[in-house]
Amino acid sequence: MRARETRIAAVSPETMKDAVGLLSGGDVVAIPTETVYGLAANALDEVAVGKIYDAKGRPGNNPLIVHVSCVDEARELVADWPREAEALAEAFWPGPLTLVLSKRAGMVPDITTAGGNTVAVRCPDHPVALELIRQCGFPLAAPSANRSNHISPTTAEHVLESLGGRIPLILDGGPCRAGIESTVVMLSKDEAPVILRPGSILAEEISEVLGREVRERAAGAERSVVGATPMDGGAVLNEEVFLSPGLQQTHYSPTTPLVLVKPDDLDSFLGQMGMEGKRVGVLLFSGMENRGEYIYNIMMPRDAENYAFELYSALYRLDGMGLDVLVCEMPPEGTEWVAVRDRLVRAGCWYSP
Ligand code: TXA
Ligand code: MG
């Protein structure tokens, strides 16, 4: 695509007006939400939505979330607004919950929903996003404002790094509060609700509101491609496998290979990397002594909410350092860690000693 000049502008009445002007004219604008920055366009304008796919390099078979400012707007986009949608919206909107429902005919164009017969709707809990939707008078399609398969942005600078030269305007509303993307739940007439993507709103919170079990879609097979073959006699990075992007379906990835390591295996893995002269960046969880000059480490928070808030920033920071390998000392299992672990597992590969 042709290069464009990207302006990054603090939110003000003037820059809001600029954003509304661009969006109303069928262009894209990166905007803050409470989860991550989104790349917004008029969800009802197929040419405008096409520009989102182009700027991100996103495959056309991956549908977008349509952002609304209230329940009434969501209802206009769907074929049916079931009681369960009402209950969840009542409990969690505005907020980081996306509802996938059957799509009303003739409203949202196919390109926005990737040709499917469902539409994902969400009412974001961010004054800038809400005000933009209201001023525009149309819903905003907005995926995370990063190049396809890269780390989601939680600051305006992250957006610039990922999409600079491809979009006209980034509205800078400061760092995003939640730090990881919304929980996506699909409601259908015939089946139990399913969580398609975990997020800060937990499965049990949704169950509690609905008074019935929600299913969590089984995580894709976790990749475990780093490690020793029996002949290796120890831990060896199998770079051929984990450096070949075509071999795995990855999401949310840094450019530098990311290896997920259980706390008990951290020492042996770092020892191995040291011997190989690798320059390593580590997301630490349990704390650690200084393990040598080849290590750049970031101490991550011990609670899931703050960990989520800092995760993408930490990955951006380490990814920008030109290191050989990033290592994440994995946080524990347990319901509050489901979303964080989901993002990590998709971004990296397990180390199996
Ligand atoms: O927090 C968020 O959800 C952020 C902010 C900007 O709102 N948006 C976001 O969008 O993360 P994106 O495009 O990066 O992720 C949307 C996810 C994708 O996994 C997509 O496949 C899924 O939602 N999705 C969207 N529409 C869907 C649909 N109709 N059916 C099933 N999944 C859908
Ligand atoms: Mg995304």
Which residue among 28, 34, 65, 97 is best mutated to probe the pocket of ligand 1, counting the most ligand atoms within 8 A of its Cβ? 65
d(CA 302, CA 300): 7
d(CA 327, CA 284): 8
Q: Which residue's CA is minimally distant from atom 20 of ligand 1?
A: 63
Pocket lining: 297 vs ligand 1, CB cutoff 6 Å: no
The CB of 145 under 6 Å from ligand 1? The reply is no
Structure confidence at residue 220 (pLDDT): 42
CB 235 less than 6 A from any atom of ligand 1 = no
Closest CA relative to residue 69, chosen from 144, 171, 137, 169: 137
Per-residue pLDDT 10s for the chain (353 aa) are 889 999 999 999 999 999 999 999 999 999 999 999 999 999 999 999 999 999 999 999 999 999 999 999 999 999 999 999 999 999 999 999 999 999 999 999 999 999 999 999 999 999 999 999 999 999 999 999 999 989 999 999 999 999 999 999 999 999 999 999 999 999 988 889 999 999 999 999 999 999 999 998 754 434 443 332 222 222 223 333 333 233 334 456 789 999 999 999 998 999 999 889 999 999 999 876 555 555 789 999 999 999 999 999 999 999 999 999 999 999 999 999 999 999 999 899 999 88
3-state secondary structure of 85: helix
Tens of pLDDT, residues 138-178:
999 999 999 998 999 999 999 999 999 999 999 999 999 99
Query: What residues form DSSP beta bridges with 328?
Result: 260, 283
Backbone angles phi, psi at 148, to 5 degrees: -50, 135
* pLDDT value at residue 188: 87
At 252 the pLDDT is: 65
Residue linked to tokens 């059957």: 102
| Torsions phi, psi for 315 (to 5 deg) | -65, -45
d(CA 325, CA 203): 33
Which residues, 6 or more positions from 47, have their beta carbon under 8 angstroms from its beta carbon? 26
Please count the residues of the chain. Answer: 353
Nearest Cα neighbor of 168 from 23, 13, 36 is 23
Q: Is the CB of 140 under 6 A from ligand 1?
A: no
The pLDDT score that the predictor gives to residue 249 is 43
CA-wise closest residue to 315 among 175, 158, 140: 158
Alpha-carbon distance of 4 to 160, in angstroms, equals 12
CA dihedral of residues 128, 79, 100, 69 (deg, nearest 10): 10
User: Which residues, in sequence order, are CB contacts of 9 under 8 Å at separation 6+?
Assistant: 15, 18, 169, 170, 171, 172
Report residue 77 as tokens: 């986009």
Q: Is 112 in the pocket of ligand 1 (CB under 6 A)?
A: no
Give the DSSP letter of residue 209: H
Q: Could you give the 3-state DSSP secondary structure of residue 177?
A: coil
Q: Is 33 in the pocket of ligand 1 (CB under 6 A)?
A: yes
Tokens of residue 108, six digits:
């949202």
What is the distance between the alpha carbons of residues 100 and 246, in angstroms, rounded to a whole number? 29
The protein residue with its alpha carbon nearest to ligand 1, atom 31, reads 100
Sequence-ordered strand ranges (E) for the chain: 7-10, 29-31, 38-42, 65-67, 97-102, 118-122, 140-141, 169-172, 183-186, 194-197, 215-216, 226-227, 258-261, 280-284, 295-299, 325-329, 349-352
Q: What is the pLDDT of residue 238?
A: 31
pTM of the model: 0.90
Ligand 1 atom 12 nearest Cα: 143
Rounded to whole angstroms, how far apart are CA atoms 73 and 43? Answer: 12
